Structure 1
Amino acid sequence: MSVRHNRPRPVDRRVRVQGQPVDSYPALPPEAERGSVRRITVVGEEILSRTCQEAAEFGTPELSALIDDMFLTMYVADGAGLAANQVGVDLRLFVYDCADEYGIRHVGHIVNPVLDLPDPGGRLLVDESEGCLSVPGATMTVPRTDRAVVRGLDKDGNPLVVEGMGYFARCLQHETDHLLGHTYLDRLSKRDRKDALRQMADRRDDVFAQRAIKAARLGR
C-alpha cells in the first residue's frame, strides 16, 4: 500500500510494534536494516490475482529473511504496507509501517491473517485516496471501514491480534485483500479502473526511477 501524499504524516511519537506499545523505535525498522530489496510485482501478473497459500512452517531462517526483505522493499518504495505476493512469494503474509489518524505508528508483520470487520452498525465507511505499490503512480478514492481487526500469527507461530483505526484500518484491509488475490482496482467502477491504469501508464517509469535512486542511496 502506498503512503498518502495528500496529508502530512502524523507527528505523534507513540509506536506500537506487533500490536504492543513501545517507548521508542527507530525510523528504519531493524528488519529493513537486515533486508535486501526485491522486485515488486505489477498489476496484471498472475500471482496478484489468486489466493495465497497459508504458511505451515514457522521460526525458520527463510521466513525471517523474507520479512526482512519485505520491510526494506516497502521502505524503498515509500510504502505503508506490503504483501508477500507483491514480491512474488505465494504466502499469506504482510508487513506494515503505518501511522493511524491519531498519530500512533504501527509496525509489524502478520502471517495467515484473517480480517475481522465490526458489525455494520458499529463502523463507518470512509471514502479516501488510496494507492498501491503494485499499481505504481496511481491513486483513487476507495471506500473502506474506519475500523478493522486482523487475527493471525507472528513468524514464530505465536497468536497475534492487530487492531486498526482510520488510515491504519485501511492498510490492514488493503493488505489482506492482496492475499485473497485482489488489488484496490477490483473495488473500483470500470471507469475509475481505466483512470487508475492510465495514471499508472503515465507515471510508472518515474516511480521506478525514484525507487532505484532510493535503493542506490542505501547501497542496495
Structure 2
Amino acid sequence: MRIKIATVGEIVLRTRARPLTTEEIRSTATRGLIEHMKETLRDAPGVGLAAPQIGTPLQLAVIEDRAEYQTSFSEAELAERERRPIPFHVIVNPGIHLLSQPEVNFFEGCLSLPGFSAIVPRSRQVVVKCLNEEGAPVRIEAEGWYARILQHEIDHLHGTLYIDRMLSRSFCSLDHYNRYWKAKPIQESLSELTHHDEHGGPDI
C-alpha cells in the first residue's frame, strides 16, 4: 500500500523523530511500516524515504538506489557522482560521523519537495552506526552518492530538509535543472552561479 508523502510545510517534517526500542523494531507494526515504506519508495520512485515523510516521527528510514534509476545519467555523470546501485535496506536509530572535508557539491531533490532541486554541500564520506530491521547493530562506511543519501535521510530524522543546507542561488524547478544544469559538470554550474552573483544588479 502506497502511503501519502508529507510535503514541505507539514509540521512532521520539522519534528525530531524519536528512537525505537528493540521491541518496537521487531514488532508486527514496524514490519508493516517498513513494507509500506518500501512500496511507497518504489512507487514514487525515489532512493530514500524517512518515516517522518509519511507522517510517522520515528528514527527509521529505507534506502534503495536501483540500477534502473541510473539509466538517465551518462557514465561520466555517474562517475562524477560516485553513484552505484544500492540494495534495499533499513536504518533505525542512526548516528552519523562525517569524515571528509572539504564538502562536495551536487544537485539533489526530495520527495517531500516535489518538482525542485538545488545544489547541496555534503560530506563525501560518512560512517553510520544504526540498527537494522531485526534490531541488530550495523556499521555502514559509505562514500559518494550513497553517503549523500544517508546524510539526506538522517537529516529528515532531525527535522532538517535539504533547503536548509542548499546553495540558495541554485534552487530551481526540475524542468530548469534538466534544461540548464543536468548535463554540466558541477564545477561549471558553481562557477556560473558565482559569476552571476558577482555581477548582479542593485538591491531593490
Is the shorter-chain TM-score for this pair beyond 0.5, marking a shared fold? yes
Query: Quick one: percent identity of the two aligned structures?
Result: 37
Match of 2:124 among 132, 146, 149: 146
User: Offset of 1:117 from its aligned partner?
Assistant: 1.2
Superposed CA RMSD in Å reads: 2.1
TM-score by length of 1: 0.67
- Distance in 1 of aligned mates of 2:37 and 2:160: 19
> What is the letter of the counterpart of residue 112 of structure 1?
N
Larger radius of gyration: 2
Q: Is the 8 A contact 1:98 1:171 kept in 2?
A: no
Q: CA deviation at 1:190?
A: 5.5
Distance in 2 of aligned mates of 1:79 and 1:104: 13
TM-superposed deviation, 1:86: 0.3
Q: Tell me the distance in 2 between the aligned counterparts of 1:102 and 1:71.
A: 21
* TM-score, scaled to structure 2: 0.72
Map Cα deviations across residues 6-25 of structure 1 (whole Å, 9 max, x no partner): xxxxxxxxxxxxxxxxxxxx
**Corresponding pairs, count:** 159
Alignment of 1:49-198 (within 5 A): 49-56=14-21, 57-98=24-65, 101=82, 103-118=84-99, 122-188=100-166, 195-196=171-172
- Cα-to-partner distance string for 1:168-201 (whole Å, 9 max, x where unaligned): 1000000000000011011135555xx45xx38x
- Distance across 2 between alignment mates of 1:179 and 1:148: 17
Pairwise CA distance, 1:41: 0.2
Q: Distance in 1 between matches of 2:2 and 2:40?
A: 5
Shift of 1:102: 5.7
Distance in 1, matches of 2:63 and 2:45, equals: 11
Would you identify which runs of 4 or more consecutive aligned residues in structure 1 move more than 4 Å?
Answer: 189-192
